[in-house]
Structure 1
Amino acid sequence: MIEEQKFRNEIDELKRELDFYKGLVERLPLSFIYEDSTHGKKAVKEKKEDSVSIESISETVTNGKREFSFISEEKIPFEEIESFLNPILDLVPHHIVFINRHGQITLCNNQVAKDLKVDREEMIGKHIRELLHIPDHQINLLETLRTGKSIVDREVLDKNYGINNTRIIRNPDGSIERVMGAFQFLNTIKEAERQAIAGRIAAGIAHEIRNPLTTVRGYLQLLQSRVDKETAALFSSLLIPEIDRANKIITDFLRIAKPSKTTEEEIQVSEFVNDFLGNFLNSEALLYNVEMVYDISDSVANCSFIGDRDELFQVFINLFRNSLQAKSDRLLRIKICTRLVGRSIQITFSDNGKGIPSSILSHVFDPFFTTKDDGTGLGLSVSKKIIENHNGLMRVTSSDQGTSFIIDIPASIKGE
């Protein structure tokens, strides 16, 4: 009795499963014929007025996995498909280009236009060689079009360095409708690697130059007591200071080229700004007739951060001297404002100087970039490096009303 009931339950379950698949087939917006010779069964779904019919079905079995391909009688123009894909492919950070069987561009995404500096609307309909400006035999898309074989992860070593893949989109009759190319543009990575290597080489050269400078300085100090007063004065007023200046330039350069180890301690914001930093800046402000303003928000009253007090002090001394050199006809006013932004302490160092021209604003943190005759161009780049070594960020804004350097450093909030 129990076995009979179990059998009936299994029959009922099979009926429910069969009804499920019948319902699924009815809902499919397709008409098709599927024959299974193994079981001697044939499934037919008639075409409805609101459905899309199927011209043919192909089946392949790969590693035990069965795959079906449906080809519609009512072929959608590929231009409509590209129009649909275009805004989606604009989100992809790699180059994507479609060409037709004549080698003409039918689609290119925004990243192509951005990196190759072209108007993509003007490129549509033109031959792919007009986009890449290289011989036809070097263009992978044309190779795939000619051979009918896709390219997988090929490294491209011409002026546009990267990894290239191509795929073929075929018509029902097997002819090529489109060839799609995907190119991972690696020029920026290659340039970054090149600069890193150059930086390491330059740092090694700078280190080797500093050693003989130290030796020369030592001998000059030794000779000071053995020469006449006029020569000794020349040593102390010109030669030794110039060697010290050269040594400082090398030290600053090495600070940029090599990450330095910071002496970490917990620093309270208001104490650092008002007492440690303020004591020096106030005396300098008095000397140079500068008005200093400190604005410490209540939001940072209980905040501190982890850092090297002396290195951060150097950052603000560099910013102060930078403001002095940008002084205009009006009284120079420098304001240091601190507040809590998210989980970062934001320190804004602002002045009302003559500002930095927009044409050079993006270069102010570049090593050795300076507009001053006696400048080394390392002050701001060193400052930015110090902030980055504190896991922070440093940026600049400027207008003819003044300049602001904004520094964000991770906060340490009491009670957490």
Structure 2
Amino acid sequence: MVKPIQPTLDPEKELLFYRRLLQHLPNGITYRDPELGLELHKREGGSSVSLQELPAHSADKPFLSLGQEYQFPVPFSQVERWLTPLFDAISHHITFIDKNGLVTLCNHRAADDFGFHREDVIGKPIERLLNLPPHKIKALETLRTGREMYDEEVLDQNYGICNNRIIRDANGDIFRVMSVFHYLNTERESEKLALAGRIAAGIAHEIRNPLTTVRGYLQFLQDDVSSSIRELFEQLLIPELDRANGIITKFLSITKEHDVKTEFFPINVFLREYIQQLLVSEAFLHSITMEYTLSPDLDGCFVQMDRNELVQVFLNLFQNAVDAKGDRPLHIVISSRLVDNQVRITFEDNGAGIPQAIIDYVFDPFFSTKDAGTGLGLSVTKKIIQNHSGSMKVRSSDAGTIFSIYLPLHRRMPE
């Protein structure tokens, strides 16, 4: 029978006993004790034991890994392939990076919100996905420091709540960093539009009343003034008042929900036989070449929308491309594709592109880089898509700009 250790045992002898025990264990070991601020490592098959201090603000829970927990019967890359369809059903961003900071897993929500196809980011540095410098990326911070994160608020351009966990190999080394990110930019944008709506509702009445009064008196005085003054009224003053009233009306339309009259129609037929015919004359006038790439997977598939409002979306995007024309002859590609039971329509041009410094603001009301622009075209466009339960994203570079529209898919006409 083994006798219990006596309280009077020599502390140095006891410490030597534990060190020798660890050296003879066959498995790799990692033990982290945040209360003492220490972390112990032993590689599998090795005999050396290292003890180091933990970084400040480490996780407050002890952690123990005996190595064999991560002895998978198949390569871990296969495990990630199994996990991907499960993670695609989760509305948060989920990514795995390896010890070199390369993305090994990316769920659909993360790729979609950042405007990428998943296959374009797997095996690439995570900086490509997040469009941030390395020192601002929390997953790389965890990889660098070994500190896991619990519900940490991120206040950069990708606003949200971050949770990072470490997966270690049999030797206790960091093998993967798993990041779960609650992306809150959409909620922040909704709050911004709600605030704009309250402001608009408060001032619209006060502005429209004097506009209506001034316009009425101008019309009343037209018959009592000279022909030159009458021409000034008709060609400048009254149209400008009408334009101001139109801006208020358009602004109100993007700050509140409104009823839409929807119908079901096949999306590929709409793009091929309606939008293509509608834009052909405008493209000819502006010397623009147009290309349509429509997926056969969507033949016979329907969307439910207000057809006239969807037409307005394409007219707005077309005009935006014309205004952003660069030195190259303008080429526009409209394509459709089936993506996760959604219709994705992309409108791509080879124009001058949108500077990265302002791309986050292009959908904001009244934001415009054009001298004569109101800054409402893209805001209205995105609001139309959102009113039909869809979403809209943009990415841009020196090679041009791509607007992506996602709409709910219906595989048959409802009876």
TM range (shorter): 0.5 to 0.7
* One-letter amino acid of the counterpart of residue 287, structure 1: L
2:275 equivalent in structure 1: 277
How is 1:179-218 mapped onto 2 (pairs within 5 angstroms)? Answer: 195=192, 198-208=195-205, 209-218=207-216
How is 1:205-244 mapped onto 2 (pairs within 5 angstroms)? Answer: 205-208=202-205, 209-244=207-242
1:298 equivalent in structure 2: 296
Give secondary structure in 2 for the equivalent of 1:405: strand
Distance 2:305 2:187 in 1: 33
Distance 2:300 2:310 in 1: 20
How is 1:35-74 mapped onto 2 (pairs within 5 angstroms)? Answer: none
1:334 equivalent in structure 2: 332
2:378 equivalent in structure 1: 380
Which of 397, 400, 403 is the equivalent residue of 1:399? 397
Distance 2:38 2:209 in 1: 65
Question: Measured at CA, do residues 386 and 78 of structure 1 come closer, stay the same or move farther in structure 2, by a change above 3 Å?
Answer: same
| Paired residues of 2:338 and 2:344 also in contact (CA < 8 A) | yes
Distance 1:280 1:257 in 2: 29
Shift of 1:188: 8.9
Which of 55, 58, 68 is the equivalent residue of 1:107? 58
**Normalized against structure 1, the TM-score is what?**
0.55
* One-letter amino acid of the counterpart of residue 239, structure 2: P
Which of 248, 251, 257 is the equivalent residue of 2:249? 251
Question: Measured at CA, do residues 115 and 244 of structure 1 come closer, stay the same or move farther in structure 2, by a change above 3 Å?
Answer: farther
Shift of 1:305: 0.6
| Paired residues of 2:268 and 2:294 also in contact (CA < 8 A) | yes
Which digits, 9 at most, give the CA deviation of each residue in 1:53-76, with x for residues without a partner? 9x9xxxxxxxxxxxxxxxxxx9x9
| Paired residues of 1:200 and 1:257 also in contact (CA < 8 A) | yes
Which digits, 9 at most, give the CA deviation of each residue in 1:59-106, with x for residues without a partner? xxxxxxxxxxxxxxx9x983488778xxxxxxxxxxxxxxx9xxx954
2:260 equivalent in structure 1: 262
Shift of 1:271: 3.5
Question: Measured at CA, do residues 215 and 114 of structure 1 come closer, stay the same or move farther in structure 2, by a change above 3 Å?
Answer: same
Give secondary structure in 2 for the equivalent of 1:369: coil
| Paired residues of 2:301 and 2:411 also in contact (CA < 8 A) | yes
Give secondary structure in 1 for the equivalent of 2:369: coil
Shift of 1:407: 0.5
How is 1:310-329 mapped onto 2 (pairs within 5 angstroms)? Answer: 310-329=308-327
Give secondary structure in 2 for the equivalent of 1:414: coil
Which digits, 9 at most, give the CA deviation of each residue in 1:312-359, with x for residues without a partner? 222111111111111122221112111222211111111111111122
Coordinate RMSD, CA, aligned? 4.4
Give secondary structure in 2 for the equivalent of 1:359: coil
Shift of 1:295: 2.3
Shift of 1:409: 0.5
| Paired residues of 1:105 and 1:123 also in contact (CA < 8 A) | no
* One-letter amino acid of the counterpart of residue 195, structure 2: A
| Residues paired across the two proteins, number | 272
**Larger Rg computed on CA atoms:** 1
Distance 1:281 1:188 in 2: 34
Q: Name stretches of at least 5 consecutive residues in structure 1 with no aligned partner.
A: 1-45, 56-73, 85-99, 125-184
Which digits, 9 at most, give the CA deviation of each residue in 1:354-390, with x for residues without a partner? 1111222222112222111111111112111111111
Distance 2:194 2:328 in 1: 46
How is 1:75-86 mapped onto 2 (pairs within 5 angstroms)? Answer: 78-79=33-34
* One-letter amino acid of the counterpart of residue 288, structure 2: V
Shift of 1:309: 1.5
Distance 1:77 1:346 in 2: 47
Distance 1:329 1:399 in 2: 15
Shift of 1:277: 2.5
**Normalized against structure 2, the TM-score is what?**
0.55
* One-letter amino acid of the counterpart of residue 297, structure 1: S
* One-letter amino acid of the counterpart of residue 292, structure 1: M
How is 1:113-128 mapped onto 2 (pairs within 5 angstroms)? Answer: none
Distance 2:246 2:2 in 1: 84
Question: Measured at CA, do residues 194 and 315 of structure 1 come closer, stay the same or move farther in structure 2, by a change above 3 Å?
Answer: closer
Question: Measured at CA, do residues 219 and 316 of structure 1 come closer, stay the same or move farther in structure 2, by a change above 3 Å?
Answer: farther
| Paired residues of 1:108 and 1:120 also in contact (CA < 8 A) | no
Question: Measured at CA, do residues 305 and 327 of structure 1 come closer, stay the same or move farther in structure 2, by a change above 3 Å?
Answer: same
